[in-house]
Amino acid sequence: DTGVSQDPRHKITKRGQNVTFRCDPISEHNRLYWYRQTLGQGPEFLTYFQNEAQLEKSRLLSDRFSAERPKGSFSTLEIQRTEQGDSAMYLCASSLVGTAINTGELFFGEGSRLTVL
């Protein structure tokens, strides 16, 4: 499978615990995006990378959230001291630079669903 893969698909944790999600983009894609989606809402932008550089972070990304893409390939999204309001689907998408502008296409993974008890 050469699509975007995310792991784990589902994570249940207790409030206050730390969680980490991993995203493996399509291999040649240099852009990588993280979105958060709650039930009945559209995906909300969190952050995006071009290669290993984090180019933009949303105000939604509080200091408990951190994302990395150390070698410009896979990315991790860590949430520290989780809160019940963090329960959501975390989506990763990838593209080539300029593709989104020229074709409107991002390739999404199936998401990592977080449930904070």
Partner 1 sequence: QQQVKQSPQSLIVQKGGISIINCAYENTAFDYFPWYQQFPGKGPALLIAIRPDVSEKKEGRFTISFNKSAKQFSLHIMDSQPGDSATYFCLVISNFGNEKLTFGTGTRLTIIP
Residues at the contact surface with partner 1, assessed by CB under 8 A: 4, 33, 35, 40-45, 48, 55-56, 59, 91, 93, 100-106, 108-111
Taking the least distance from each CB to partner 1, the nearer of 80 and 87 is 87
Taking the least distance from each CB to partner 1, the nearer of 50 and 76 is 50
Please state the closest distance from residue 89 (CB atom) to partner 1, in A.
9
Contact 73, 25 (CB under 8 A): yes
Closest CA to 53 of 34, 67, 36: 67
Please state the closest distance from residue 95 (CB atom) to partner 1, in A.
9
Contact 12, 113 (CB under 8 A): no
Taking the least distance from each CB to partner 1, the nearer of 14 and 42 is 42
Please state the closest distance from residue 97 (CB atom) to partner 1, in A.
9
Question: Which residues lie across from 34 on neighbouring strands?
Answer: 47, 92
